[in-house]
Structure 1
């Protein structure tokens, strides 16, 4: 019997005070993703201590992530895992639950009590692109390039990446990127809002850590309130957003005055 891949062989995480650093650690395979990796990433989200404020996602090697291991779609599948095409035999509820379990690895990065930063170099393809999109902010090396290849393979992007992509670049550009599967360069990513900053490759880790330090410099409660304001802005009218700002500021003023609950 073939053994499953050890989740911890492909991902590790370390705590540095209020910063958590999550690293994809399979550079020989361009950090190709598997359900085992997704289980490990989801577990890290559950294990994260409550006083961690910022999470840095990075990858070893030349590429951030080449996306899903294509062996998942072969009859043999990934050792120790169910071949993906067998998922089609599940009933609706089981199939929905299976995909929902996969998505868990991609969703916790945007939870309200943390700010997440992805440091991207080389290729971020498909699931790799969606993992980077799962983070609040992306810092890119000059050689970073993104591609959403699922639709060209007869699938759809289903790992929670479609909403952040539309939020970042707009519906029309997101549609064009997904349907063509083309490469998006780091320069274009910065221009259209996918990347907050682009730096030479040798400076990527330092730039990402510098940003993390800046995020940690602001008071936590103010960061949480500001993130909530911005996250909800798209669903609110102008007047509703003004009201949300007033309510958030009232909480902050009372907290600073020692009058909070």
Structure 2
């Protein structure tokens, strides 16, 4: 296991498991590095025909590590930009993988965790899953390509509605919008993700690679620049007093919830 991220295989299927339950699979430099290495191993191996990205615990990913972000803001050391740059590298690696990636979302996918799920090709969700934007409440814009993928899948008006007005989607709401391909009971999630993978793997590998390239090729050419634009927008928001105050407030509330009575 690397940084609580493990890579296992079942014949031609690769399974990446996010296993940092204690930290709700929050996204930081260590997380990005571990997941990048797992994706690199899959690409280098060359035999895999599909990938499942799953997580253990109640939360798929709580998004960025706000404690680290707050500490970086207080130090003014550029660590926030480094984290977003690493996340961008991860998203690009995920999108450019030549085989389909299926997100298996068992709980909340929040902030950059939502971005990570939307960067996958297909999503299977537990009925208990939620997709939470969260950025507006912190006083900042998106990162990890969330604005890109929501606008691409839903159109600009619906994407803005979700980002600015709705903030959170249930699994069923996400399915009705086409952001999720299947919603199942929690106990059936693992088998549903495997069934989706088997369906994909029943198509000859060359055809799968070509179709993934054709479907994603036209839009992915703009993803790299969009990620850079998104990072700059996030950093401009992060320089405001409102962002500092809201992140500090969120961290303080989290500490209060987790402190013993």
Structure 2 unaligned regions, length at least 5: 221-261
Using the alignment, how far apart are the partners of 1:220 and 1:233 within structure 2?
A: 21
Aligned to 1:221: 206
Contact 1:107/1:160, CA 8 A, preserved across alignment: no
Q: Deviations over 1:71-102 (max 9, x none)?
A: 11333xxxxxxx2565x655xxx986763223
Shift of residue 229, structure 1, vs aligned partner: 2.4
Aligned to 2:15: 21
Contact 1:109/1:136, CA 8 A, preserved across alignment: no
Larger Rg: 1
Using the alignment, how far apart are the partners of 1:131 and 1:43 within structure 2?
A: 16
Aligned to 1:30: 24
Taking only aligned residues, the RMSD between alpha carbons, in angstroms, comes to: 2.3
Using the alignment, how far apart are the partners of 2:52 and 2:121 within structure 1?
A: 10
**1:41 paired to 2:35:** yes
Determine helix, strand or coil for the equivalent of 2:60: coil
**1:66 paired to 2:62:** yes
Using the alignment, how far apart are the partners of 1:119 and 1:97 within structure 2?
A: 27
What is the TM-score normalised by the length of structure 1?
0.76
**1:190 paired to 2:184:** no
1:174 aligned residue (159, 172, 176): 159
1:129 aligned residue (107, 114, 120): 114
Q: Deviations over 1:8-55 (max 9, x none)?
A: 242111122221100010223322222211111111122221222211
Shift of residue 133, structure 1, vs aligned partner: 0.9
Using the alignment, how far apart are the partners of 1:224 and 1:157 within structure 2?
A: 29
**1:10 paired to 2:4:** yes
Aligned to 1:256: none
Aligned to 1:245: none
Give the 3 Å change call, closer, same or farther, for CA 39–9 of structure 1 in structure 2.
Answer: closer
Is the helix fraction higher in 1 or 2? 2
Structure 1 unaligned regions, length at least 5: 1-6, 76-82, 236-261
Using the alignment, how far apart are the partners of 1:98 and 1:66 within structure 2?
A: 15
What is the TM-score normalised by the length of structure 2?
0.76
Contact 1:150/1:181, CA 8 A, preserved across alignment: no
Shift of residue 152, structure 1, vs aligned partner: 2.5
